[in-house]
A and B are shown apart, each in its own frame.
Chain A
Amino acid sequence: MTSYAIEVKNLRKEFEIKKRNGFFKRNKKKEVFIAVDDISFQVKKGEIFGFLGPNGAGKTTTIKMISTLLRPTSGTAIINGINCVERPMEVLKILGTVLTGERSIYWKLTGRENLEYFAAMNGITGRKAQVKIDYLLTRFNLDKRADETVEKYSTGMKQRVALAKALIADPEILILDEPTSGLDPQSALNLRELILEIKEEGRTILLTTHYMEEADQLSDRIAIIDHGKIIAMDTPCNLKKGLNKTNIIVLELKDWNSSTEERIKGIPMVENITSRFDDIAQRWEVKIHMVNGNDSINDLITNIISTNNKIINFRVEEPTLEDVFISLTGKSLRE
């Protein structure tokens, strides 16, 4: 019996792109977009495995292939020793999946009716279904509004119904695609606590997210994915440790432009620079990765002051997964 819940080997997905010229003409030359590019990874039983990457990196395509919704161009995905392409029905019996977005449940049905429907579609009916539904409604704090139609629920409640739906058949493995996307901070926090509780029950969880804090907080191991390729895979702690020679310097500046950026890039030891404008504070936040940065901080400050720029704040931060991503790709997760 395999010790891995999920084994993905050389998985690849290509999509044909149809481009149009004007109203009717279609380019005859076929272009291929590689959404997932020959990725391999294993998820151990009982762990939370995070798939971290920006939008369009290939996270959802990967989990759709694992959950049998999409046929891979090549490679294999094995769930508890069962091939997803060859025996999809058996795979679906041990998988619970929550896809991104709040429309994966019926808004015109009540929370209870949704669970009744998906219980029956998983072969659970009668008294057994009722007991399970009552338990899940109570556990996910939906019991008081279980008989109202879902359209009246908040986004957080809809997401909890979707999670309850995925757990209705008591699956060994749970796949969650951007589970906290679109939730307010409190609802996101509550859902993350629920996910950790579900893990404590011994279930394996494959989670995709583009929120680094979420990946950091929940995952035992993380694969960072960009442009369809896995570019790093380890525990969050080890990924961050890999940057221990890099200092993360954050400057808050009045102005920021490309010529200043070029000037800073010229300082030895500067590895990556990312910047964003804070609309509320009306200032630029510039994050600079420097190898052995303590030796070059003077150079950095001198260069910025020489451009007549005003430094509003200055701090040195501990590396985060965002910094790991920047270090690997030279860009921010938000870009």
Chain B
Amino acid sequence: MADLHFLANPARFRRFSQRVLPGLGFATALMLAVGIYMAFFVAPEDYQQGKTVRIMFVHVPSAWLSMGGYAMLSALGASLLVWRHPLAALMARAAAPVGASFAAVCLLTGSLWGRPMWGTYWVWDARLTSMLLLFFLYLGHIALSRAYDEPERGDRAAAILALIGVINLPIIKFSVDWWNTLHQPASITRLDAPAIHNSILVPLLWMAVSLLFLFVYLVLLRTETEIDRRRLENAEAAA
């Protein structure tokens, strides 16, 4: 952790991200291409669900990343409120729309998967509802961070919302265990062996890592933009 400390300085962060971004972008594109090929042509059909199981290769990583992204937003909120890290607020502004997009993809693909398998696009069970709440928390964060004339006040208000919403993450995760739901329980993130055959599990994990690369790439790129934007605003205010 201490080694990453130098990144807390926006100028140094910017130099770091400019060095990393081209290579990371290339790696992301390559990984996604392989992952999509595996998802469509290598992975077998499921014994019950047939081809629709392929929706999982986008749906599940999106769900993970939207939850991981929110955990990151909360950590950034804490480092802004407690340690006043100058970069945390800018990174949170950069990350929130990316996380919201993954949450939206998760909800949309889930809905399209639910119709043929369950027989409905949407039900208000605990898993689906808590996931929708996560999406709204993201939207709230985006709106709140832009709600003040002084951006620093928006940063702080959004950080508080990010920390309050972190309560929702364990609720999403364990909703399928605590209450009976239409959504089935976890296949991978559980104590015993995964309930997914390796031929489907490997493409799924590959896609998850590829989309994680995409997430990191987008957040770094957007953080750069936020640093430039804040500098411009400060320069304009000073002029």
Q: Is chain B found bound to chain A in the same assembly?
A: no
